[in-house]
Amino acid sequence: DTAVSQTPKYLVTQMGNDKSIKCEQNLGHDTMYWYKQDSKKFLKIMFSYNNKELIINETVPNRFSPKSPDKAHLNLHINSLELGDSAVYFCASSQTRTSATNEKLFFGSGTQLSVL
């Protein structure tokens, strides 16, 4: 009964291929995210969806396309994979609040993407 689960855990693929990473949360949260951890270990936000609506879209190549079929799912599709896309991709979720404190993010265990 993992709270935020993403699949696959490891993904090894050739340059130019198209791949997808799936994410599901069972916490009842209304907001989901994709974060990328690059080789320098920085965790950076890529996208966020609130109730299936795109809220944050960072400067990410349009080869990356998130899809949120419902509040509990946020998938990441990547076209024409490049060597520089190799990284760990983390899905996360949170519940929007209106108080002075910000949302705590709950992360999945990550997908290690290796592009050869």
Partner 1 sequence: DQQVKQNSPSLSVQEGRISILNCDYTNSMFDYFLWYKKYPAEGPTFLISISSIKDKNEDGRFTVFLNKSAKHLSLHIVPSQPGDSAVYFCAASEVRGSTLGRLYFGRGTQLTVWP
69: Cβ contacts below 8 Å, ≥ 6 apart: 52, 75
Determine if 28 is a binding residue for partner 1 (CB under 8 A): no
Residue closer to partner 1 (CB basis): 13 or 45: 45
Residue closer to partner 1 (CB basis): 15 or 43: 43
Contact pick of 25, 31, 68, 75 for partner 1 (by CB under 8 A): 31
Q: How far apart are CA 67 and CA 81, in angstroms?
A: 17
Number of H helices, E strands in the chain: 0, 11
Q: How far apart are CA 13 and CA 32, in angstroms?
A: 26
Residue closer to partner 1 (CB basis): 52 or 103: 103
Determine if 110 is a binding residue for partner 1 (CB under 8 A): yes
Stretch that binds partner 1, among 13-21, 50-58, 64-72, 78-86 (CB under 8 A): 50-58
